Structures are given as structure tokens and as C-alpha cells.
Structure 1
């Protein structure tokens, strides 16, 4: 059964009506072909209108959609012979991060990515995609292994943020993230990142120091969630509400379209009408095609030049206005 977001209610009503007409026409003498065809055309037009005018808050809801494909959903579509690797060799294994080696069209690649979990039991097991320090250390261990054998690394980012619990802090959460940022910036292999859902805070950044970073059309990528931003900026005597979240999402400029304009990401991968959860196979094929085309170019670049280009890429992000060049 398809899960519909609030702004998709008109689409839901029309799809239910079409299904009812199909059931009515099956095994009966009533020919409803033309009416079904007319409603399908109307449905497509409605979807186009709705998904062409999404607000940042609505895109946030799609990025968090419970049926949205996760890293484990994309692996069988993109990779052959994928072998998952576990543990950070220091503390333990973190199910919130998937890491391993596989092949794409016969060529070896390493993969690290967040995994939120589908069912309630799995979400608890995966900690809702919020990684502990051992998750980021596991990711770095696999990236270092990939460097040893000159294998490109693919990262898939989909997390509300790194886990802020006491245990995680005691085991060095901040250090683990900071170490990933430093080590990834110096890896002598191609790094290709994909924000497939929710890219939140340092938890996302720890897998995002890549030569090329891409976002799915309805993914989000920001320093903080809209809810967290609203609570910090506008919470007074009463709790913040949906209107505050909408305002925060707008101000954060967290959509793929905004981030492409700012030069934070390199490109946007389009999603099927209605979102990636409508046609995960198609989205997986689009990600795979992007991996192959980009990796083919990055592999040709000598390691030292690759690191230099990566450094320059991140140095160009953002603007600074000094005392002699202050924004008017």
C-alpha cells in the first residue's frame, strides 16, 4: 500500500478512483477504457503540477518518505557480487553504515552509505541512520582498503545526522567525523558521493568529501534539520510548529536546486514523477550510469592532481567579506 504525504492527497484520491474503475471493468461488460484513459491523463497532469512546484519543506518530506529507497535497496540494482564488510577494528560494528566491495560492469568499487531501516524493528537496529563513531571509522577503514587496491569509492548519504548520544560522545564522535574529513581529503583514489535522501549536518559531511557530489532531485542537504533550526532560532514560550519548519526549510536553502546554484554539489539526478520510491529501479540505473561516466574520467587523473583538484573544489565553496570588502 502506497504511503501518501499530505500534499499528495488529490493524487491519492485520483489513483484510488482509477483503481476502482479498473476493478469494475474487469470481468464485466462495462467498457470504461476511455474514462480510465482520461483519468490517467488527468493524473499525470496533476502530478506534474504538484511536483513541479514543491516547497523546500515538501521536498524535505519526500526526502524522508518511509518508502524512499535506501542504500541497501540500490546495491542490488547498481552492484554485482557485493560483499559487505563489518566492524571498525576498534570497538564494534555499526549497522547504521553499510560498507563493502562490489563490481559495476565488471570493475571493482567500494561503497559506504547510511542505512535508516524500513520496519520499526530495523529502524531501531539501524538507529534510524544515525551513525556512531564506529560507523564512520568502519567507513574510513573500507575507504583506506579501497585506496590500497586503487579502487574508486562510492558514498551514499542519507542521515538526519550523527548520533548525539552519551556513548557516541564518549567514544569520540566529533573526532571520528573530523578524522574522516581529513583522511578523505587526502585519499589517492576517486571519491563519488550521492545524497540519496536526507543529508544532515556533520553526519552527512563525514561521507561527503568527494571529488564529485550529486543529489537526487528531491533530496536535501543541510547543516541542520528544519526542526532543529526552528527550535534554535524561534522557540520562545511555546513550541515551534509546522509554519516555523516551513520557514526554516526555506531559509536553509537545502534543496538540490539551491545547492547546485551555490556550487555545493556538481549535478542533480532527476527522479521519476512522484519521487524515487515510485520507480527505484529506474533511479538506481540513473545513479549507476552517473557512477560509470564520472569514474571513467576521474580514474584518468593522476593521484596528486586528483587531491589538488579536491582541495580546490572545497576551497571555492562559500564567500568571505573582509573589512575592506564587506557586503554593502
Structure 2
């Protein structure tokens, strides 16, 4: 059953009515009802275009968190072959919020790493809603260093509200693990490309996305803090998340203007949740292009390219 966001209620009513008419048409062989259903389909298509044409930043946050959006595990299954998962940080434990391993992308061997939120209650609890603990970042460091030794491009898929803020994570060195992961990204001598496929929250996202090329899906978001967290700090009122989302400039369109990201990957009409296969194919094609572009650079040039990108970050669009 499809999930509808609060601003899609009118769309839900139209599509629901069309579905009811089709069910009645099948039972009673009603040609007239089928025609009415097609008319409602056209109305729904027009409304869908209107809704998604001018999404506010807060609505983009809602779309980025949509439960039906494809997650990291879906992208790995759809785009990569011969995926061999690698687990554990060789220090404390395995973190289910971070998945990664060796794979092939269009026949090219790569290391793929990403946040996984889970898609039902059981898996969301197991995956800790995509919020990585220190051992998750240390696992990612281990996999990135392995890729560097064997000359494999690294692909990271970002989808996290942020690093896990629990007491145990802090006791095991959460901030140090994030910093080390970011440092490892900067030091790699192989291509590193990142795609924000949903939420890119705080240092938990930067630890995987300090890359040569960073792309975002059209309706994904990437920010130093969630709108709710920002509103709680600035206004002492989490209900002001809409104002916070506007101020944070967290949309792909804003971040492209600022030079924080490099590419925007268009989503199917109505968002990736309405046509997961098309969205995943678009991401796969963009990853392939970015890796091909970077494959021409040697190890030193790749490091210089990556560091220069982050030194220059924010210089674009400052007057905007």
C-alpha cells in the first residue's frame, strides 16, 4: 500500500477513487467506470506535476524521508553484481547501520559503502534507523583503506539523519571515529564518489561524503543539522522546522549553487518512491560517469582534486 505525505492528501483521494472505480469496473464490466478512472488518472498526473514542481525545503525533507524511497540495500541489489559484504571494525563490533563490501559496477570492481535505515520495524531497529555508531565509521575506514591498497574506486551512498548520539557511542569515541573517517576520505589515492540518496545529516554524512564528486538526488537533503534540531536550538520550538529548513539551504538546488555538491540527479515524477527502478538506474549511470571522469587522474591528482574541492567549498554563490 502506497504511503502518502501530508501535502499529498488530495492526490491520495483522487488516486484512491480511481482505484475504486477500476475495482468496480472489473466486477461489473463497467466501461463507463473505466473511462472515469482514466479521467481521474489524468487529473492525478496534473496534480502530481503541480505538487512536485515547487516543493518547499521542508517538503523536500519529507520526501527525502519517505518510507518507500529506495535505500542503500536496494541500490546495491539493483546496480552492483558480485557483492561480497564485509563486516566488523576489527575492534569492537559490526554496525548494521553501515553496510559495505566488494562489488562490481558495470563490470568494474569497486568498494561500495552506505548507510542503511531499514524498511520495516524490525529492520529499522536492527539498522538503528541509519544512525551509525563509532564501529560503523571504523568499519568504513577499514573498507576504504582496503580499497586504497587494491586500487579500487570507492562509492558511498548517503542516507542518515546523523551519527548516533547515544551515551555508548560517545564513550567509544564517536567524534574521533567521524573525524578519522573524514581524514581517510581525504587521503585516498583512488576515486571516491558519493551520492546522497535520501538524508545527508551532519558529520555522520560528511564522514562518507568527503569525496572527489558528490551528487544528490533531486529531492534529497544535505545539512549540518536536521530542521527540527535547528528549530529547537534557535527558537526553542521544534515546530518551527519549516522556517529552519528554509534557512539551512539544505536542498540539492541550493547546495549546487554554493558548490557543496557537484551534480543533481533528476528523480522520476513524484519522487524516487514512485519509480524506484528508474531512480536507481539514474544513480547508477551518474556513478559510472563520475568514476570514468576520475579514472584519468593519478593518486596525487585525486588527492589534490578532493582537497581543493573542500578548500573552495562555499565560495560559489556567497553573494546569493
User: TM-score, length-normalised on structure 2?
Assistant: 0.96
1:258 aligns with 2:259: no
Q: Does 1:286 align with 2:282?
A: yes
Q: Distance in 2 between matches of 1:214 and 1:105?
A: 19
- The count of residues paired between Structure 1 and Structure 2 equals 316
Match of 2:25 in 1: 25
Equivalent-residue separation in structure 2 for 1:268 and 1:132 (angstroms): 29
2:297 aligned to which of 286, 301, 304? 301
Structure 1 gaps of 5+ residues are 321-326
Tell me the SS of whatever aligns to 1:189.
coil
**Inter-partner Cα distance in structure 2 for 1:34 and 1:120:** 39
Query: Which residue of structure 2 lines up, in the alignment, with residue 74 of structure 1?
Result: 75
**Alignment match, 2:263:** 267
Q: Does 1:45 align with 2:41?
A: no
CA distance in 2, matches of 1:77, 1:182: 30
Give 1:35 deviation, angstroms. 2.3
Residues 199, 222 of structure 2: 8 Å contact kept: yes
> Structure 2: which 5+ runs fail to align?
none
Q: Secondary structure at the match of 1:195?
A: strand
Equivalent residue for 2:143? 142
**C-alpha distance in 1, partners of 2:161/2:260?**
19
Corresponding residue to 2:241 among 234, 242, 245: 245
Write the distance in 1 (CA, Å) between the matches of 2:261 and 2:47.
Answer: 30
Deviation string, structure 1 residues 91-145 (Cα, Å, up to 9, x no partner): 1100000010111121111111001111112111111111011100101111111
1:120 and 2:121 matched: yes
1:27 CA drift (Å): 4.4
The aligned counterpart of 2:154 is 153
Shift, 1:34, TM fit: 3.0
The TM-score normalised by the length of structure 1 is 0.94
Report the 3-state secondary structure (helix = DSSP H, G, I; strand = E; otherwise coil) of the residue aligned with 2:209: coil
What is the match of residue 230 of structure 1?
A: 231
CA separation in 2, counterparts of 1:29 and 1:86? 55
SS at match of 1:206: helix
Alignment check: 8 A CA contact 2:229 2:238 kept: no
